[in-house]
Chain A
């Protein structure tokens, strides 16, 4: 299973990648913003996307909206990891096409639970 991690913070990408490694996932590609994320998805197969919200050039919401218009990507599982945790934020993310939502700070157990829930759908 190949993951795509999209975050402008190299620290947060490393944290998420380390977390994925801990829970048994090692096939991971990275992108620094939504536009790069679209490039990675176009370049090869991706099975699950983990994305930040606030990013330069193309933010997480714009990225997901663009992703959902791509051929065959309307059902690609997307998990959003962000500090934006207000009810309105979550509603906006879900409307944009996010499948599940993780609020920072998070534990590896939380990430695993959310990934399992997304994949079970």
Chain B
């Protein structure tokens, strides 16, 4: 699953942001908790359930927003524009992940994205699930994508 999420992230950034990502080493559990300013989050459910979480700094999120909206380097996007852009990036990563994970007869769904912005907060899911953090470098910016998988399998009717 983590390899699928990694491939989806690289694909979304290459296609929509026009930026190649340099990959770091995936880290399990709490080995890496990024102090990010803009966090997008989407829940998913299928044969497994959990969360896809996207982390960026204000500077990194601003860069992504400018690239998505076609703004020049001098233009500072507004906070609503940044929130919407990070929500959309998170949605595309999680949506691609959902599509690739789904197989015939195994329906997967994702929630709508939520975006949290601030300068002094820490994200930690209230679950005992397995967590893996994927670090990436996008030019001068570090971004992170986390996969949280709940431990219990989803029961089917």
Contact = CB atoms under 8 A, between A and B. Distances in A.
A and B part of one assembly: yes
Interface of A: 9-12, 14-15, 18, 54, 82-88, 103-107
Nearest to B97: A83
B96 interface: yes
Given A88-B107, A105-B12, 7 more contacts: A11-B68, A12-B88, A14-B70, A83-B95, A85-B95, A86-B108, A103-B99
A113 to B, nearest CB: 15
Contact of A105 (B65, B92, B102, B112): B92
Contact of B16 (A9, A10, A88, A105): A105
Contacts of A105: 11-12, 15-16, 92, 96
B70 to A, nearest CB: 5
25 contacts: A9-B84, A9-B87, A9-B88, A11-B84, A11-B85, A11-B87, A12-B88, A14-B69, A15-B68, A15-B88, A54-B112, A82-B95, A83-B92, A83-B94, A83-B95, A83-B98, A85-B95, A86-B107, A88-B107, A104-B91, A104-B92, A105-B11, A105-B16, A105-B92, A106-B15
Closest 7 CB pairs of A and B: A83-B95, A105-B15, A85-B99, A11-B84, A105-B16, A11-B85, A18-B70
A87 B104 contact: yes
Interface in B17-39: none
Contacts of A82: 95
Nearest to B86: A11
A11 B108 CA distance: 25
Interface of B: 11-12, 15-16, 65, 68-70, 80-81, 84-85, 87-88, 91-92, 94-96, 98-99, 102, 104, 107-108, 110, 112
B38 to A, nearest CB: 13
A58 to B, nearest CB: 16
A14 B81 CA distance: 11
B95 A18 contact: no
Residue of A86, A88, A107 ringed by the most chain B CB atoms within 10 A: A86
A70 to B, nearest CB: 28
A12 B81 CA distance: 11
Contacts of B12: 105
Contact of A86 (B68, B69, B102): B102
A104 B15 CA distance: 9
Nearest to B82: A11
Nearest to B15: A105
Contacts of A86: 98-99, 102, 107-108
